């Protein structure tokens, strides 16, 4: 097989299935595929500012996979597929920086569990993407990488914290990508970049080797251009990890025939979708205009009509939870320093820093992130006494009640999913900051329930809008059915004009 790039394979918008079909037909090799994606990174990332580090070993890894392909066929379901990782995923052969200048030289001794899973599935790690520094916020600004831009409007934010991955995948700088979600991070960046993102049920995917922000909320998840690729990627990422005991909950929860078997054109036929109206509209006029919020609502209303036309019963509205009570279950301010410091201790000599506080004291943290840390009172918490901290313990208990309430609403209305926009407002113009208050991330994050974001269309200004569907515990198969049917009925994914084919 030739290892040279060939014009017979159209790289733009290529799916995992497209890649494997092209390999089978000898139209492309893994090595040629890597070369072509690297060429796109070289040509386009100066505009996007999405990539922090390119993997110097990607070509050699692809070459080895091509040799194995000749002798034994595909080594796994992601054979030769170039993947971009959010740079808070540990990699033994590349730095893992969390976007921080202080960690620029930090190369962990081992891969994150999900990175091991991806490599075992045959993936090629092609690069690592910029993120909101420490994943703390929704802009994608870091001291190491600067500000990432939206693939559809370079003057606007891509959301965060996984904005680098989302911008890169949207612009076809990799076939698929990964993010992590504490609150919004694999949902609002896909929504703002016309992509699919999945926040899995807590316990389905391991967090070992992911730079932590909040132990009880963090989870990795896929960011892709299609629902089918999200299904394939999540299946590869999921699995029991003895080092992360919460994954015991996910044992036997992936269908024996895989998530892809649940991709059904008629998946909306007979479905019951509840519209969570309390997540629509502007919450605070300081965050934008009613016109901004209405632009999102208009697109979502059209999406609801499409679902109904495809056979779904729409239950509208469904009052899910009290929003003030939902917000009062936040625990990040309690867990961040404790969990981050524990991560640093595991690195040992790989970093000269023992704590988040030490890193902040260096003065190297991006000002927007340092001010958020200060405003949140992160260093006012005594991490050693959290087991006795009534404020913290009450918030954890509140989460259990919120989870029970949300599940009861699904049961009472006989719903397959709840529907709402991931963000109440579109991407904001740089240098403004994306308002967290207008993100609808907390329902999934605080309950641990799964959700999927799919492209829903565009505003009149050409900005992507996403639609989020939240289901019951380990309801990923049903969510994939619904999302795939909606995707097929709408075909709302389109690549950004600025990043077309290379000459």
Q: What is the pLDDT of residues 399-455, one digit of tens each?
A: 999 999 999 999 999 999 999 999 999 999 999 999 999 999 999 999 999 999 999
The span from the CA of 221 to the CA of 195, in Å, is: 13
CA neighbours within 13 Å on the CB side: how many for 421? 31
pLDDT < 50 regions, the chain: 1-6
Answer whether 226's CB lies under 8 Å from 220's CB.
no
**Residue 452: closest CA among 478, 428, 433:** 478
- Cite the beta strand spans of 225-326 per DSSP E: 272-275, 313-315
Distance CA 407, CA 400 (A): 11
Per DSSP, 89 falls in state B
Q: 431: helix, coil or strand?
A: coil
Q: How far apart are the first and last CA of the chain?
A: 24
Which of 142, 161, 162, 188 is catalytic? The answer is 161
Q: Which of 246, 244, 259, 241 is closest to 202 using CA atoms?
A: 246
| β strands within 342-428, DSSP E | 417-420
What per-residue confidence (pLDDT) applies to 8? 78
Q: What is d(CA 84, CA 91) in angstroms, rounded to the nearest whole number?
A: 12
Taking the C-alpha atoms of residue 248 and residue 108, their distance in angstroms, rounded to an integer, is 25
Q: In sequence order, what are the beta bridge partners of 464?
A: 458
In contact, 33 and 27? CB cutoff 8 Å: no
Q: How many helices (H) and strands (E) does the chain have?
A: 15, 13
State the Cα–Cα distance between residues 148 and 137, nearest whole angstrom.
Answer: 13
78-95 pLDDT, tens digit per residue, is 999 999 999 999 999 999
Report the chain's C-alpha Rg in angstroms.
Answer: 21
Triad 418, 225, 7: Cα angle to 5°: 165
Contact 420, 279 (CB under 8 A): yes
Alpha carbon distance 57, 63 (integer Å): 10
**CA separation for the pair 9, 20 (Å, rounded):** 11
Tokens of 275: 């519209």
d(CA 52, CA 88): 11
Q: Which residue has the tokens 């190491």?
A: 144
Distance of alpha carbon 172 from alpha carbon 177, whole angstroms:
10
Record the pTM: 0.97
Provide the 3-class DSSP secondary structure of residue 424: coil
Active site residue 185: yes
Cα–Cα distance measured from residue 268 to residue 481, given in angstroms and rounded to the nearest whole number: 7
Please confirm, yes or no, whether 289 is among the known catalytic residues. no
Q: What is the DSSP letter of 61?
A: H
pLDDT at 279: 98
Integer CA distances (angstroms), 77 to 29, 214, 236, 389, 492, in order: 15, 31, 8, 46, 26
What the chain holds in terms of domains, given with CATH numbers, is: 16-499 (3.90.1300.10)
Give me the phi and psi of 307, to 5 degrees please.
-65, -40
Check if the beta carbon of residue 350 is closer than 8 Å to that of residue 108.
yes
Q: How far is CA 267 from the centre of its chain?
A: 23
Give the sign of the dihedral formed by CA 351, CA 352, CA 357, CA 361.
Answer: negative
- Per DSSP (E only), the strands in 285-390 are 313-315
Known active-site residue 261: no
Let me know: does 259 contact 480? Beta carbons within 8 Å: yes
Contact criterion met (CB below 8 Å) for 16 and 176: yes
Closest alpha carbon to 316 in 307, 325, 324: 307
Q: For 103-144, give the secondary structure using H, E and C.
A: HCCCCCCCCCHHHHHHHHCCCEEEEEECCCHHHCCCCCEECC
Check 106, 143, 185, 188 and give the catalytic one.
185
* Token pair 């790690």 in the structure block, residue: 125
């Amino acid at each position: 097989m030739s290892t040279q790039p060939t014009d017979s394979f159209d790289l733009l918008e290529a799916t995992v299935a497209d890649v494997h079909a092209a390999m089978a037909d000898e139209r492309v090799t893994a090595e040629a595929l890597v070369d072509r994606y690297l060429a796109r990174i070289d040509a386009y990332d100066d505009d996007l500012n999405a990539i922090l580090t390119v993997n110097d070993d990607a070509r050699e890894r692809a070459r080895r996979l091509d040799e194995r392909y000749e002798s034994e066929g595909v080594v796994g379901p992601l054979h030769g597929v170039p993947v971009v990782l959010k740079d808070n995923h540990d990699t033994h052969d590349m730095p893992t920086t969390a976007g921080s200048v202080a960690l620029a030289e930090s190369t962990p001794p081992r891969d994150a569990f999900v990175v091991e899973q991806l490599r075992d599935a045959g993936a090629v790690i092609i690069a690592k993407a910029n993120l909101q520094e420490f994943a703390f916020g929704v802009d994608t600004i870091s001291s190491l990488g600067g500000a990432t831009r939206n693939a559809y409007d370079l003057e606007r934010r891509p959301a965060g914290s996984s904005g680098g991955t989302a911008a890169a995948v949207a612009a076809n700088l990799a076939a698929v990508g990964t993010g992590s979600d504490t609150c919004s991070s694999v949902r609002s960046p896909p929504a703002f970049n016309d992509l699919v993102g999945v926040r899995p049920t807590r316990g389905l995917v391991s967090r070992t080797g992911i730079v932590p922000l909040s132990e009880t909320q963090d989870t990795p998840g896929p960011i892709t251009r299609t629902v089918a690729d999200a299904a394939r990627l999540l299946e590869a990422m999921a699995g029991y990890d003895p080092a992360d005991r919460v994954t015991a909950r996910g044992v036997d929860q992936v269908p024996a025939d895989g998530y892809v078997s649940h991709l059904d054109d008629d998946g909306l036929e007979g479905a019951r979708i509840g519209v969570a109206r309390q997540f629509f509209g502007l919450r605070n006029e300081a965050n934008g205009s009613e016109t901004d919020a209405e632009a999102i609502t208009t697109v979502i209303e059209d999406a609801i009509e499409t679902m109904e036309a495809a056979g779904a019963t729409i239950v509208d509205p469904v009052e899910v939870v009290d929003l003030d009570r939902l917000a009062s279950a936040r625990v990040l301010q309690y867990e961040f320093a404790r969990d981050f410091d524990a991560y640093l201790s595991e690195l040992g000599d790989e970093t000269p820093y023992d704590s988040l506080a030490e890193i902040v004291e260096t003065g190297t943290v991006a000002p927007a992130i340092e001010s958020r840390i200060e405003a949140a009172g992160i260093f006012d918490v005594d991490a050693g006494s959290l087991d006795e901290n009534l404020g913290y313990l009450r918030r954890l208990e509140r989460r259990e009640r919120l989870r029970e309430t949300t599940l009861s609403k699904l049961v009472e209305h006989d719903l397959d999913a709840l529907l709402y926009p991931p963000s109440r407002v579109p991407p904001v113009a740089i240098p403004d900051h994306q308002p967290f208050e207008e993100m609808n991330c907390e329902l999934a994050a605080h309950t641990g329930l799964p959700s999927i974001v799919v492209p829903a269309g565009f505003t009149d200004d050409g900005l992507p809008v996403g639609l989020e569907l939240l289901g019951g515990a380990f309801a990923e198969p049903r969510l994939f059915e619904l999302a795939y049917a909606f995707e097929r009925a709408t075909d709302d994914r389109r690549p950004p004009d600025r990043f077309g084919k290379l000459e």
